[in-house]
Amino acid sequence: MCLAVPGKIVRIEGEYAIVDYGGLRKRASLMVLPDAKVGDIVMVHAGFAIAKVDEKEAERTSEALSMLKKALGNEQEV
């Protein structure tokens, strides 16, 4: 199963963005979204920012991932 996780770009370093996932910050490639900017909410899959989304879509996705985590018994990292 492939999942993309929403996060907010807080900094750009060359071809990479530092993305905040509710307090956890990780680097993501902007190869697919070279026009992304600080403040954008992006979907990240396998270390690549693959799409921009609005806050509503990001919230719906986060809720769905939380439900999936509960269904898996909170044992799996989602």
Q: 27 in a domain, yes or no?
A: yes
Q: 76 in a domain, yes or no?
A: no
Q: What is the model's pTM?
A: 0.82
Residue 74 has pLDDT above 80, yes or no: no
- The pLDDT value recorded for residue 76 is 53
Q: What percent of the chain has a predicted confidence (pLDDT) above 70?
A: 92
Q: What does the pLDDT look like over 29-52, one tens digit per residue?
A: 999 999 999 999 999 999 999 999
Q: 60 in a domain, yes or no?
A: yes
Q: Domain with 64 in it: what CATH number?
A: 2.30.30.140
Mean pLDDT across 24-31: 98
CA gap 11, 58 in Å, rounded: 19
Q: 23 in a domain, yes or no?
A: yes
Per-residue DSSP letters for 57-71?
HHHHHHHHHHHHHHH
Q: 52 in a domain, yes or no?
A: yes
Question: Domain total for the chain?
Answer: 1
Q: 17 in a domain, yes or no?
A: yes
- 18: containing domain: 5-71
